Amino acid sequence: MQKFSAWSLLKKSFGGHKGWQSQWRRATPKPEYDAIIVGGGGHGLGAAYYLAAEHGLTNIAVLEKGWIGGGNTGRNTTIIRSNYLFDESARLYDHSLKMWNDLAQVLNYNVMFSPRGVMMLAHTVHDVQVIKRHVHANRCNGVDNAWLTPAQAKEFCPPLNIDDNIRYPVMGAALQRSGGTARHDAVAWGYARAADALGVDIIENCEVTGIRRDANGAVEALETSRGLIKSRKVGVSAAGNTSVVLGLAGVRLPLESFPLQALVSEPIKPVFPCVVMSNSIHAYVSQSDKGELVIGAGTDAYTSYTQRGALHINAHTLEAICELFPMFRRMRMLRNWGGIVDVTPDRSPIIAKTPVQGLYVNCGWGTGGFKATPGSAHVFAWTIAKDEPHPINAPFTIERFRDGTLIDEAAAAAVAH
């Protein structure tokens, strides 16, 4: 009788991740496309998918300098929520949250969306006031969020320590029940496979190194590590590196790039029912379906393009986790990594046309763009296809930093900056 390993059976049933990857890697760029997306993260692949699926543009390519999902999409802690303060953000993030609900069906790929609830802790009187303000603003915008007492917070998340005598006692929490997590790399692969099926070329190991403009200043071609590729529409979704790529066309953006780190523990049986975040003490945690605790830290204090950060940031985060969840004190950590996030002055993204005709940008998601992937990709595709913003992303312009129409979401970013 023929024997199969679990891996060979998996490959037989699904084609195997390696199989799909090598198929994309073989794709040779055509000399010209109707549109090109720079950056094969969730936002770029998603935009390519919606360009093809909703706007009928199928002669398009995604150019990725490494491998798809190898940037922040495959490095984040997968928290999904829409409890932002301002109306503009509520519309954008809630558009996305709604799309998560049936994304697996739309893409025919299990992105493992799990709306298990996201709880944000308050540890000081200031936290209580700020978080309650968010709860009220969210409810006015139809975004679900509720204030919990410490006892109610513990009832929702039994491992939580609500002892009054700890250094940062829990004074209450906001709970968005419709928030949760999804499988990060599955989002990149799901969009890539669905886009590929519609004819999109996904070209890995292809770095954009130059942007050529015609006599009128409009985009006409990209210089890449795999040769010159012509296109009159180029959308850039190159988180962490956006200012470098846009700089190739002479466009300056108000962005700074910082390392942001995360780590996972050894896997254990299911013990942690939801997502808990604490902005004040720089720690957030959930448990993945593999059983690992997924723990995230604050950003490093210094700008950098390296995908790793300083060790003491993690030590601080782990101290906070041990204080909030004493039962995790003896657990061992398995892996630590970092990503580079690009941060705008108002901690809100830019999804917009640029001053260069045919050049569009989707960036500035800082520490929080994973949750926005479907909604952001959807409105970015609209912006590229129609050469005008979708009503949802119309406020997220570059010009707001000149005009002062900021959307200041520093408090909702939920991660220490």
Binding site residues, ligand FAD, CB under 6 A: 38-44, 63-66, 70-73, 75-79, 207-208, 237-241, 245, 260-262, 296, 339, 341, 365, 367-371
Nearest to 373 by CA among 90, 99, 154, 86: 99
Tokens of 162: 């609500």
Nearer to ligand FAD, 71 or 150 (CB): 71
Q: Residue 263 Cβ, how far from ligand FAD at the closest point, in Å? A: 9
Provide the residue count of the chain. Answer: 417
Q: Residue 81 Cβ, how far from ligand FAD at the closest point, in Å? A: 8
Nearest to 279 by CA among 136, 123, 97, 82: 123
Nearer to ligand PYC, 63 or 363 (CB): 363
Nearer to ligand FAD, 150 or 237 (CB): 237
Among ligand FAD, ligand PYC, none, partner that 400 touches (CB below 5 to 8 angstroms by kind): none
Nearer to ligand PYC, 79 or 107 (CB): 79
Q: Residue 88 Cβ, how far from ligand PYC at the closest point, in Å? A: 16
Chain residues in the site for ligand PYC (CB under 6 A): 77, 79, 81, 284, 296, 367-368, 414-415
Q: Residue 362 Cβ, how far from ligand PYC at the closest point, in Å? A: 17
Q: Residue 296 Cβ, how far from ligand FAD at the closest point, in Å? A: 5
Residue 413 DSSP one-character state: G
Among ligand FAD, ligand PYC, none, partner that 235 touches (CB below 5 to 8 angstroms by kind): none
Among ligand PYC, ligand FAD, none, partner that 180 touches (CB below 5 to 8 angstroms by kind): none
Give the chain's radius of gyration (CA, Å). Answer: 21
Do the beta carbons of residue 401 and residue 361 sit within 8 Å? Answer: no
Tokens of 214: 């015609």
Q: Residue 417 Cβ, how far from ligand PYC at the closest point, in Å? A: 11
* Three-class secondary structure of residue 320 per DSSP: helix
Among ligand FAD, ligand PYC, none, partner that 207 touches (CB below 5 to 8 angstroms by kind): ligand FAD
Strand order from edge to edge, sheet including 208-213:
208-213, 219-224, 227-230
Nearer to ligand PYC, 284 or 360 (CB): 284
Residue with tokens 């403009």: 213
What dihedral angle (degrees, nearest 10) is formed by the CA atoms of 157, 159, 165, 166? -100
Residue with tokens 């995790």: 328
Among ligand PYC, ligand FAD, none, partner that 341 touches (CB below 5 to 8 angstroms by kind): ligand FAD
Tokens of 97: 């949250």
Nearer to ligand FAD, 93 or 325 (CB): 93
Distance, CA of 278 to CA of 293 (rounded, Å): 15
What type of residue is 277?
A: M
Among ligand FAD, ligand PYC, none, partner that 309 touches (CB below 5 to 8 angstroms by kind): none
Interior/surface letters 157-179, b for 16+ CB within 10 angstroms, e for the rest: bebbbbeeeeebbbbbbbbbebb
Among ligand FAD, ligand PYC, none, partner that 414 touches (CB below 5 to 8 angstroms by kind): ligand PYC
